[in-house]
Amino acid sequence: MIGEGEPLQHSDGRSKLDEAKEAVQAAAETVKATTQTVADAIDAGRKPGAPLDRLARWTREAPLPAIAVAFLIGVVIGRPRR
């Protein structure tokens, strides 16, 4: 079992629960920082002329027949060969 044979409280007065809370807070801060970094990268990519902006524009402007041809080419290339 968890903590079997170990004291629930250290000699300095901190309990295992306090340690667990600190670990969860540290993990939450790391996730928050990572999420902000990813969001900043996406925002930077969406600025006019950036790769995500160009991709979004090309997707909106692509005519339906071009998309159909690209799909068919993908199907032919992606089929398993016998």
The CA distance from 69 to 55, in Å, is 18
pLDDT by 10s per residue, the chain, length 82: 555 666 556 666 678 889 999 999 999 999 999 999 999 998 888 898 888 888 888 878 878 888 888 899 889 988 877 6
Residue type, 65: P
Entry pTM: 0.50
Quick one: pLDDT at residue 66? 82
The CA distance from 53 to 72, in Å, is 26
